[in-house]
Chains A and B, each alone.
Chain A
Amino acid sequence: MSDDGAAVVAAVEAVAERLERERDHLTELDSAIGDADHGGNMARGWAEAADAARDLDDPEPETVVKAVGKTLMSEVGGASGPLFGGSLVFASAEITDGITAETAVAFAETYLEKVEDRGDARLGDQTMVDALTPAVHTFKKSIESDDIGTLEALAKAVAAAERGVAFTVPIRARKGRASYLGWRSVGHQDPGATSTLFILEEVLATAADELDADVPAVDAASPTIPDDETEADAADEE
C-alpha cells in the first residue's frame, strides 16, 4: 500500500464519518428547498464508499478515488450519485501517477468541469458549483501563482468554499430541485454546496494529519478573493 493511497482511504473514512454526523443538518437544509434526501443519500453513499475503499487490496490514490466514485454512482439515488460520483471517477484519471501539487490542481479543475457539465450548472445558480468554483480557483492560484505550500493552498481553498456556501444563501436557485421554488429559494443555503464544503474540510484535516502538521490558519478574507469582488458578484445576481 502506498502512503498516499492509505492517506486517501483515511480521507474517505473521515468524510464518511463527518457526513454521518451532518446527516440531519443536510436533510434539514434539503427539506427547505429540495426533496429532503441529501443527508441520508450522502451519509449512506459515503459509508459504502468507505467500505469499498477499505476493501481495496493495494490502494493507490487513483484506484481509491475511482472506487469511491463508482460506489457513489451506484448507491446514491438522486443527483448526488452522478455529480459527486461520476465526477470523481472522471477526474481520477488526473492522479494516475499519484498526488503532487500539479496533479491535485488538474484533478480539482477536471472535477469542477465535470460537475458543471453534468449538472449544466454555472456559478451563481445556487448549487455545489458555487462552493467548488472559489475553492478550485483559489487552490490553483495559490499553487501556480503564489507558489505557496499545498497544505496552505488547500486551507485557503476550504476558506474560499466556505464563502461560496454563504454566497448561495442570498441568491435564487437556477438549477436543481430548488429551482422549482423560484424566488422562494432565496434565503436558503444550498445543501450540495454545504456537503461539498464538509468534504473539503475533512480532506484538509486528513492531509494535515498525514503530514503531521496543524491545519494552517488562513484568512477567510483571503486576498485571492477580495471582499469587493464577491460583493459585486452578489449584486450581479439580483
Chain B
Amino acid sequence: MVGLVVVSHSERAAEGIVEVAAEMAGDTPIEAVGGDGQGGIGTVPDAIEAALEAADDGDGVVVVVDLGSAVMNADVAIELSEAEAVVADAPVLEGAVNAAVAATDPSATLDSVREQAEAARDIEKL
C-alpha cells in the first residue's frame, strides 16, 4: 500500500491529524512526525526520514506538511531516504484525510494518492 506521513511543526498537531485521518484509512500505514526533536516547535529531516521508512512498504509514501520549513525538511528527508516519496501540495489535515481514503483503493498508486491529497485544496466548507 501507499503510505502516508503527516509533518507538522507541532508533534501533537501531527498526531492529532493522524488520528482524524486514521478513522478513514483502513490498513494504510500512517506516521506522524513533528517538533524540533528537543520538545519544541519545528521540523527536523532525520525524524521525517525515519517516518518515511516506517510508512513505506515498497509502494511509496505521500507526505503532507504544514508550514514553510516543513516543506524544506521533508524535501531533504526524501533526498536522504531510500523510500520513494512525494510531498503533496495540499492543506495538511484535509490532504491527509483525502490521501488516507485514496490509499485504501486497491488500484491506488503514489500518483493517484498524491492527486487526491492535492484535490483537498478545492474542498469548499460553506
A177-B37 in contact (CB<8A): no
Chain B 65-97: CB-based contact to A (< 8 A → 1; otherwise 0): 001110011011000000000000000000000
Residue B45 at the chain A interface, CB threshold 8 Å: yes
- Residues in B neighbouring A81, C-beta threshold 8 A: 44-45, 69, 72-73, 76
- Residues in A neighbouring B38, C-beta threshold 8 A: 77
- Name A's interface SS: helix
B75-A82 in contact (CB<8A): yes
B75-A78 in contact (CB<8A): no
B76-A82 in contact (CB<8A): yes
Looking at the assembled complex, report how far the CB atom of B79 sits from the nearest CB atom of chain A, in whole angstroms: 9
Residue B40 at the chain A interface, CB threshold 8 Å: yes
5 interchain residue pairs of minimum CB distance: A77-B42, A77-B36, A79-B69, A82-B72, A78-B42
Given A73-B76, A77-B36, A77-B40: A82 and B45 interface contact (C-beta under 8 Å): yes
A77-B37 in contact (CB<8A): yes
Which of A's residues lie within 8 Å of B, judged by CB?
35, 37, 41, 73-74, 77-79, 81-83, 86, 118-119, 175-177
Cα A83 to Cα B76 in complex, Å, equals 10
A77-B75 in contact (CB<8A): no
Instruction: Give the contact-size bracket for chain B.
Output: 10 to 19
Which of B36, B38, B69, B72: most chain A CB closer than 10 A? B69
Residue B8 at the chain A interface, CB threshold 8 Å: no
B72-A119 in contact (CB<8A): yes
Looking at the assembled complex, report how far the CB atom of B75 sits from the nearest CB atom of chain A, in whole angstroms: 7
B76-A37 in contact (CB<8A): no
- Residues in A neighbouring B46, C-beta threshold 8 A: 74
Q: Which B-chain residue is minimally distant from A121 (CB atoms)?
A: B68
Given A77-B36, A77-B37, A177-B67: A118 and B44 interface contact (C-beta under 8 Å): no
A74-B44 in contact (CB<8A): yes
Residue B98 at the chain A interface, CB threshold 8 Å: no
Cα A126 to Cα B45 in complex, Å, equals 25
Which chain B residues (29-43) contact chain A, with CB distance < 8 Å? Answer: 35-38, 40-43
For the A-B complex with A81-B44, A81-B76, A119-B72 known, give 10 more contacts whose Cβ atoms are closer than 8 Å. Answer: A41-B42, A77-B36, A77-B42, A77-B43, A79-B72, A82-B69, A82-B73, A86-B76, A175-B68, A176-B68
Cα A176 to Cα B67 in complex, Å, equals 9
- Residues in A neighbouring B73, C-beta threshold 8 A: 81-82
Cα A83 to Cα B38 in complex, Å, equals 20
